[in-house]
Amino acid sequence: MAERSTSVVTAGRFREVMRAYPTGVVGVTAATDRGPRALLVGSFFSISLRPALVGFCVGEQSTTWPDIRRAARFGIGILAADQQDLGRTLAAPGPQRLAGVPWRPSSAGVPVLPGVLAHLECVPVAEHPAGDHTIVVAEVRSVRSLRDHQPLIFCHRTFGTVADARSGDRQVRSG
Ligand SMILES: Cc1cc2nc3c(=O)[nH]c(=O)nc-3n(C[C@H](O)[C@H](O)[C@H](O)COP(=O)(O)O)c2cc1C
């Protein structure tokens, strides 16, 4: 089989290779001292069962994470395949991403996103610097399944479904 790659790690080559790797997407939410805040995260991962730990990576330029980390507790909503618009909203520029989203507060006051597959409530337990990102480790204090549906997937710079991500020649850009 012909080799299709080089070993030189340029930013463009790194992005080109990694954009073929599909991820789910979650909305990280909190009721902060500056109002309800949210950001879209594709780097979410499960770490440990006992204790229940999850993690994600936050860019050093993020203006929303400093607000969320000051909140005692934050939420993680796992987006469903029919929530592309919500995904775009939660990644849009500006702090008022939740302004037009009909979220409701959990019993602890954390914004629960509408239509998500599951809502986890977490407290941050560690942050590890990693290049231009920080790896956030959080303990899961509660977890609720809310909906039986396919997950939203991000691959080749576009939102889609698991079936879309399986199509290796899909090269659509999300803009
Ligand atoms: C599909 C997708 C996945 C993203 N994943 C992450 C992520 O894992 N970590 C991160 O810091 N930002 C991620 N972002 C960008 C954030 O959603 C947000 O746009 C960025 O943090 C800048 O906004 P802020 O300054 O309000 O934090 C992602 C955006 C998109 C569209």
Domain limits for position 107:
22-165
Report the CATH number that the domain containing residue 28 is assigned in CATH.
Answer: 2.30.110.10
Q: Does the residue 172 lie in any domain?
A: no
- Read off φ and ψ for residue 139, nearest 5 degrees: -90, 135
Instruction: Point out the least confidently predicted range of 106-115, 141-150, 162-171.
Output: 162-171
Q: Does the residue 121 lie in any domain?
A: yes
Q: Does the residue 173 lie in any domain?
A: no
- Residue closest via CA to ligand 1's atom 20 equals 62
Regarding the beta carbon of 59 and ligand 1, being less than 6 Å apart is answered yes
Regarding the beta carbon of 64 and ligand 1, being less than 6 Å apart is answered yes
- Read off the pLDDT of residues 35-51 as tens digits, 9 standing for 90 and up: 999 999 999 999 999 99
Q: Does the residue 28 lie in any domain?
A: yes
Q: Does residue 5 register a pLDDT over 70?
A: no
CA 44 to ligand 1: nearest atom: 8
Higher pLDDT, residue 117 or 173:
117
Q: Does the residue 33 lie in any domain?
A: yes
Q: How many domains does the chain have?
A: 1
Q: Look up the pTM and report it.
A: 0.92
- Residue closest via CA to ligand 1's atom 9 equals 58
Q: Does the residue 91 lie in any domain?
A: yes
Q: Does residue 120 register a pLDDT over 70?
A: yes
Q: Does the residue 7 lie in any domain?
A: no
Measured in angstroms, how far is the CA atom of residue 1 from the centroid of ligand 1?
36
